[in-house]
Amino acid sequence: MIPAWLVRAKAERDALADRVAKLLVFIGSPQFERIDEDESGRLRRQYDAMSTYLEVLCERIKAAEAS
C-alpha cells in the first residue's frame, strides 16, 4: 500500500510540474519581454525556486519508491 504522504507528494509534484512548465513558456514569450525588469527578475527567481522545489519532491518520491 502506498503511504498517504507519498500519494500527496506525487499529486503536488504533478501540479507543480505543470505550473513550472507554464511559467517557463511565459518566460520565453514576447509578453515577458514587455514586463519591467524588476518584475521579470522576480518571475525568474520564482521559476528557479519552483524548479528547485520540484527537484526535491522528485528526489523524495524516488527515494521512497526505492525503499
Give residue 13's pLDDT: 98
Give residue 1's pLDDT: 87
**From the first residue on, what is the mean pLDDT of each consecutive set of 10 residues in the chain (67 residues)?**
95 98 98 97 98 98 95
C-alpha cell at 35: 514586463
Q: What is the pTM of this model?
A: 0.90
Q: How far apart are CA 12 and CA 33, in angstroms?
A: 30
Give residue 45's pLDDT: 98
Where residue 35 falls (left for φ over 0; alpha for ψ -120 to 50; beta otherwise) is beta
